[in-house]
Chains A and B, each alone.
Chain A
Amino acid sequence: MKKFLVTLIALIRKDLTIERHTREIFLVMFFFAVSILFILNFVLDTEIKTRYNSAAGLIWIISVISGQLCLNQIMSLEKENDMMQAFLAAPIPLTAVYISKTITCFLGMYGMTLFLFPLYSIFYNVSLYSANLLWIAALGCWGYASMGVIISAMTIQTRMRDILMPVLFFPVIIPLIVTVVKVTQTSFLGESLSSVTVWISQLVVFNIIFTTIGIISFDSLMKD
């Protein structure tokens, strides 16, 4: 267990250090998200109510599309210089690689999503502040990252990896998106979250299922 944790921390630190030096993932993803947020201004109705009601869906769509950039890059890092072969040869549990990638991707997605809420509020003049968003976004982003890393691990081994990623990933992630949008919307509208207990339970269950699938399947996905 100790070895697992040491490996996990080392791998996360490695990814974050690469990101600190290159700024190829998080910053690009963030600016991409902000540019979509800007474009929305030209297609959204000017009525405040419409902007308010569609906020949850739009913010999550932006997160999902932007997050895909992170997923594409996060596994491609290991493809360069055959780093994946080094992982396979090293005496480390491959599950640690999966969890570390999921955590790194989660951190990027979570940070970006938390930025998007106030940015949307400022740009579109609606009030979207709620403490519940912290854990709702965390659940949404973790589910996204846990399944995304698995699909990304599949697509990096193909000839058309960047194109294939959304085609494979988006249909699979739909239940999570539907659920997280519903819970976020309820939170935005200021309604009691007790009215969406079933949806919250679904969100938790989806996270557990996706993470379990990831842990079980990552080994056989990567090994030769």
Chain B
Amino acid sequence: MRITIPTKYFIFDILAAILILISFVLVMFFTPVEMTMGLVQKIFYFHVAHAWIGMLSFIVAAAASVLFLISNNSMNDFIAESAVEIGLYFTIIAVVSGSIWAKPAWNTWWTWDPRLTTTTIMAFIYAGYQFLRQSLDNPEKKSRILALYCIIGCISVPLTFFSIRGYRSIHPVLIGSESQGMNMTEPMIATMIISIFSFTILYLALMHHRVLYAKIKEETEAEKYEMELEDERNS
């Protein structure tokens, strides 16, 4: 089977590559070195972008799952599958980069902060979704079960956040807080916004490719499943 990747996909790829490069240059040479944390603070520009993509991806996956249950359109299932996989990688990178940052900043690799804990639990739910996808055979039931698990997971994440928010937090609040915020300068804020935007474009580029892959994979698996059923009937 010959697979043709549409040209418009490459536009996103090139745009994402240029923007990521610009973000990298800005982070390394344009932003000032933070007074107390020093150079390690620069991780933050990528850490926030990854955490944002993780969260966005989870919302996209849940929305696609709801749409799948309503419309039964398999494209929504492909979007959910792709969003979960990409979101899982971005979330893991966000947690690991946060941990690398935490060691010099908070003098600990890990703290049971509500945001950290919730993000990690979100990664567990994503991972569970991946395992569930691998172990289901019937293509029709598979999509429905996965859509339901994705919605349950999406409901569970905010519940987890609310249930543990009472615990003490040392995580900086970037938006809507003056007392606990990082007191970022204008170049810092601008770079952070550009970084988030660049990674969002990268996310879109990855999603395009992953959805195409999911579509091809599903068609192949459905054919394989049909052939296996046929063999069972004949034998």
Contacts and interface: CB of A to CB of B under 8 A. Distances in A.
B121 A159 contact: no
A164 B163 contact: no
Contact of B141 (A157, A168, A175, A213): A157
Nearest to B142: A157
Given A167-B127, A167-B131, A209-B155, A175 B145 contact: no
A158 B132 contact: yes
B124 interface: yes
A172 B156 contact: yes
Contacts of A157: 136, 138, 141, 145
A171 interface: yes
Contacts, number: 80
Q: Helix, strand, loop or mixed for chain A's interface?
A: helix
B128 A179 contact: no
A154 interface: yes
B160 A168 contact: no
Interface stretch (B22-30, B76-84, B146-154, B211-219): B146-154
Interface of A: 147, 150-151, 154-155, 157-160, 164, 167-168, 170-176, 178-179, 202, 206, 209, 213, 217, 220-221, 224
27 contacts: A150-B148, A151-B149, A154-B148, A157-B136, A158-B132, A159-B135, A160-B131, A164-B128, A164-B131, A164-B135, A167-B128, A168-B149, A171-B124, A171-B125, A171-B156, A172-B125, A175-B156, A175-B163, A176-B163, A178-B163, A178-B164, A209-B155, A209-B159, A213-B155, A220-B69, A221-B145, A221-B148
